[in-house]
Amino acid sequence: MNMQIRIIIAGVMLVLLSACSKPEDVAPPVVVDSFNVGANSYVRSLAIDAATNSLWVGTSGGAMEIDLDSHLMLNTFTRKDGLANEYVFGIGVDSDGYKWFGTNAGGASRYKDGSWQVFFPMHGLADYWIYSFAEQDEKIYWIGTWAGANRVDLRTMQITTVKDELINEWVYGLSVDSKNRVWFGTEGGISMLDGESWTHWTHEDGLGGPNKKNLPASANTGLGTRDRHDLSVMVGGDASYNPNYVFATLADHDDTIWAGTWGGGVSAFDGRKWRSYTAADGLAGNVIYAIAQGPDRAYWLGTNNGLSRFDGETFINYTVADGLLGADVYAIVVTKENEIWAGTRGGVVRLAGNPNTSETRQEVQ
């Protein structure tokens, strides 16, 4: 066999190998930037405004906007600028380009082009504690609160509340699937609204992994009492367990529903049954605060013990030693370029796919 034929065969083999390679064969992303917001400040929410290509960051001290091209901070907002409260727990961007900010005990604020509007229970909001947002077709917007969920018609701004229909009134996670069904993650399980019909799931139905370490039950029972409580997941300084307590939900590209639980890891529902993944399967931690999926279909999970990437078979975990600013990862978004932003106490980190990218750090105050 002459040299020219060998080169042609080798080239064909390289093309075939490239075509057959899996996403997991590509080097995983690494932390390349960190944006500090203060050692005692928490980043609880992240959202991308595709129209302006900007990242919105919700912290315990206000909200900020970062340009995704330059990675420079564009704006910062506090109560004096129009926020209902500085502690921003949830951010949503609706189809009209309005940014919604859900606050801790301060109601909700809506912002666009320099104009602010504040929503309190007197305006129809279910509660002052606001944690999540999601939009259905026909401009129907949902707001998750500690007293049910609000349905907002963006065309008329009419606000109604669902509470008794839910399995539990304290709503943390919201997600809408391709069939326009709404999934509610609550302190007492999962509820789904399919048009006018409701369906519910709890640990008895397979939600949340088993308590193999016999952890104590959490003090927050998920019974929907009106007593306010903090979000500590510890009992007497030790880890605790409540598989019905759902912090986050995600309807993925294939309409599999993912639920992040308190101590029961992450659970996936294929329409028939739930399957749970825990630290025993390679997950970084068993308390799941945030879930996102990238354009490469990999899942990103924010846990109480770091950040996990899951390709459907294998977990890759990131800790403070890998560049995270804190062990508890409360918020995650993935850009269309497959860059991952993760929020912790202290700030936000950016992960990108080029392992040779030199790390830079920016202070955001």
pLDDT at 145 > cutoff 60: yes
Q: Establish if 19 belongs to a structural domain.
A: no
Q: Which residues contact 115 (CB under 8 A, 6 or more apart)?
A: none
The domain of 177 spans: 29-363
Q: Establish if 14 belongs to a structural domain.
A: no
How far is CA 144 from its chain centroid? 13
Mean pLDDT, residues 312-340: 97
Q: Establish if 155 belongs to a structural domain.
A: yes
Q: Establish if 159 belongs to a structural domain.
A: yes
Q: Establish if 259 belongs to a structural domain.
A: yes
Q: Establish if 311 belongs to a structural domain.
A: yes
State phi, psi for 11 to the nearest 5 degrees.
-65, -40
For the beta sheet containing 360-363, the strands, ordered from the edge strand earlier in sequence to the opposite edge, are 329-334, 340-344, 347-352, 30-36, 360-363
Q: Is residue 36 a contact partner of residue 346, using CB atoms and an 8 Å limit?
A: yes
- 56: its two tokens: 């919105």
Q: What torsion do the CA atoms of 206, 209, 211, 215 make, to the nearest 10 degrees?
A: -120
Q: What is the pLDDT of residue 228?
A: 47
pLDDT tens for 86-113 read: 999 999 999 999 999 999 999 999 999 9
For the entire predicted model, the pTM comes to 0.88
What is the band of 358 on the pLDDT scale with cuts at 50, 70, 90?
A: very low
Q: Is residue 212 a contact partner of residue 218, using CB atoms and an 8 Å limit?
A: no
Q: Is residue 345 a contact partner of residue 45, using CB atoms and an 8 Å limit?
A: no
Q: Is residue 116 a contact partner of residue 125, using CB atoms and an 8 Å limit?
A: no
Average pLDDT taken over every residue of the chain: 88
pLDDT at 56 > cutoff 50: yes
What is the band of 235 on the pLDDT scale with cuts at 50, 70, 90?
A: low
Q: What is the pLDDT of residue 8?
A: 37
CA distance 300 to 352: 13
Mean pLDDT, residues 37-56: 96
* One-letter amino acid for residue 272 of the chain: R
Q: What is the pLDDT of residue 217?
A: 79
pLDDT tens for 150-206 read: 999 999 999 999 999 999 999 999 999 999 999 999 999 999 999 989 999 999 999
Q: Which residues contact 309 (CB under 8 A, 6 or more apart)?
A: 28, 29, 298, 299, 300, 301, 315, 316, 317, 318
Q: Establish if 214 belongs to a structural domain.
A: yes
DSSP, collapsed to helix, strand or coil, labels residue 8 as helix
- Which CATH number characterizes residue 270's domain? 2.130.10.10
CA distance 260 to 245: 8
pLDDT at 265 > cutoff 70: yes
End-to-end CA distance of the chain: 66
pLDDT at 13 > cutoff 60: no
- 38: its two tokens: 């203060």
Domain count, the chain: 1
CA distance 219 to 266: 20
Q: Establish if 173 belongs to a structural domain.
A: yes
* One-letter amino acid for residue 219 of the chain: A
CA distance 60 to 86: 6
- 348: its two tokens: 């936000």
What is the band of 238 on the pLDDT scale with cuts at 50, 70, 90?
A: low
Percentage of the chain beyond pLDDT 70 is 84
